[in-house]
A and B are shown apart, each in its own frame.
Chain A
Amino acid sequence: MDLVRDVLDKKLVDREQCDMGRASGLIMQFGEKTQPHITHILIGGPTLWMRIHPALGRASEKLARLWGPKSKEPVRIPWSHVETVGKDIKLDVVAKDTGALDWEIWIARHFIERIPGGGHEEEE
């Protein structure tokens, strides 16, 4: 597998086919006796902006502390939850439980649901 070509920036989809962002970074572990291996996929947050410039990464971290869902960023998904890597990456998780949809839910509750006709994010 070519990590940059096949994993980075690919769509992440949960068990119920719900879109949950893109792979914005990877965590790799180097052991003394073991081969280097990927432990986590990172979603969104400073990791993404850091790829353009470290200063943007720091700015995004600061902004997230002042505003937004105040969740722990970036979201980390253990590599063991990866089911398949194809055009999209299928994960054996429920998107809402991972924190990947925290911004979606925050914007729904703070803005969209307050406008008439916006509906409710939790309704099926």
Chain B
Amino acid sequence: MKKILQITLGIITSVGGFLEIGSVTTAAQAGALFGFQLLWAIALGTICLIFLVEMSGRLAAVSKHTIVDAMRERFGFPFFFFVLIGMVLVAFLVLIAELGGIGFALQILSGLGFPLWALPVSLVVWLMMWKGTFSLIENGASLLGLVTISFAVAAWKLNPDWSSVGASLLPTLPEQDKVKYGYLAVSILGASISPYLMYFYSSGAIEDEWDRSYIAMNRVIAGFGMTLGGVLSICVLIVAAIALRPKGVQVDTFPQAALLMTTALPRWGFYLFAFSMLFACFGAALEISLAIAYFFAQGFNWNWSENLEPSKNARFAFVYTIIILVSAVPLMLHVDPIRVTMLAMALTSATLPLAIVPFLFLMNDPIYLGKYRNGWITNSVVGIVVLISFVLAIISIPLQIFGG
């Protein structure tokens, strides 16, 4: 029973790490601009993520080491430091975007502008980490995050043409706006395959004291959790394609995104969207702040656990305190969270090889995994997706930035 309840780790990793401002914004933009055509990118990202998350859990359960532990030990400090800088910068941008997402959700509910919400929101996120335990965060955020199932209800009510939905799972090129299409594909992959999610999940497996007996359950948790996130993202895209595309709405601003569910659910759609964003971004903000603190603590082998009193792992608590407070500053200065989101998602894609290539090496290392090493299927799937996202990122990001 205890093992089955660990499904909450999958749900929080998924709702917090997968379905958050990044996935909602990129999927909504993709649907509004290209109809169902970019569904394949979400499907591809989801498949890759299932493999990556399963790998993160397996590494922790078998070796009792997280990805960060193993990376520092196997590749040495200079390489670790290089990855630390890259990952923390990107995760920090994503954290700003998530806090902005919470602020925006509160803005459309209350009418007060999001910059006013930045500081209170970051204080609430911090307080939850300061006083809460890992299981409180895990269970609380998973339970609240379930409101995002309303995206699926909205998609169902709009009664899409399921055969064209199915056909869009295979990639095709659009007739126009090829650069924007490529950029959106990169951003969707970046929003789905977020490295901080792997660091969070493998640390969560250590916090929940997994051992080898969890290997089978880990597959179920990773498969179920990430599929849930993937299906909900697909629903966001479907809803945007049916409700926003005919009206020519492009989802460049948050108030436009808020209209996403009002066609399908005229009475409750507005509030369901606001609460979905609120809880999904809240889960994500907790997950990213923890992931950054875990990254430092594990890399330097400080004491770390969300279950300890802050003074018992002072450096760990210090890192998340500083990160959360600093990330509120750009929002107070009116930085647009949607723009930060798009930049963060594209940068995530571009830096994916940095996170995933060393991880693939570790997953093939007999010292850590013995007979539980990766097979050729896992290595090939992850390798191919990383290559695709990297190539897309190299082509599309400069084109988007310089070509407008």
**Residues of chain A at the chain B interface (Cβ within 8 Å):** 4, 8-12, 18-22, 24, 44, 48, 51-52, 87, 103-105, 107-108, 111-113, 115, 117-121
Counting contact residues on chain B (CB < 8 A from A), the size range is 20 to 34
A24 touches B303 (CB 8 A): no
B77 touches A52 (CB 8 A): yes
User: What chain A residues lie within 8 Å of B312 (beta carbons)?
Assistant: 119, 121
Leading 10 A-B pairs by shortest Cβ distance = A108-B314, A119-B309, A119-B311, A121-B311, A107-B314, A112-B314, A118-B310, A108-B311, A22-B301, A11-B301
B76 touches A8 (CB 8 A): yes
B375 within 8 A of A: no
Q: Which of B65-73, B157-165, B388-396 lines the interface with chain A?
A: B65-73
Residue of B nearest to A120 (CB): B311
A104 touches B302 (CB 8 A): yes
Choose one: B69, B77, B315, B368; the contact of A11 (CB below 8 Å): B69
User: What chain A residues lie within 8 Å of B311 (beta carbons)?
Assistant: 108, 112-113, 118-121
Kindly state the separation between the CA atoms of A39 and B312 in the bound complex, as whole angstroms.
31
Kindly state the separation between the CA atoms of A113 and B72 in the bound complex, as whole angstroms.
30
B63 within 8 A of A: yes
**Residues of chain B at the chain A interface (Cβ within 8 Å):** 63-65, 69, 72-73, 76-78, 80-81, 130-131, 300-304, 309-315, 317-318, 321, 367-368
B65 touches A87 (CB 8 A): yes
Choose one: B76, B310, B314, B367; the contact of A9 (CB below 8 Å): B76
A51 touches B310 (CB 8 A): no
Residue of B nearest to A116 (CB): B130
Kindly state the separation between the CA atoms of A115 and B129 in the bound complex, as whole angstroms.
13
User: What chain A residues lie within 8 Å of B302 (beta carbons)?
Assistant: 19, 21, 104
Residue of A nearest to B308 (CB): A119
Given the known interface contacts A10-B73, A48-B77, the answer about A115 and B310 at a Cβ–Cβ threshold of 8 Å is yes
User: What chain B residues lie within 8 Å of A19 (beta carbons)?
Assistant: 301-304
Residue of B nearest to A8 (CB): B76
A118 touches B300 (CB 8 A): no
Residue of B nearest to A111 (CB): B318
User: What chain B residues lie within 8 Å of A117 (beta carbons)?
Assistant: 130-131, 310
Kindly state the separation between the CA atoms of A58 and B311 in the bound complex, as whole angstroms.
30
Kindly state the separation between the CA atoms of A52 and B368 in the bound complex, as whole angstroms.
26
Residue of A nearest to B314 (CB): A108
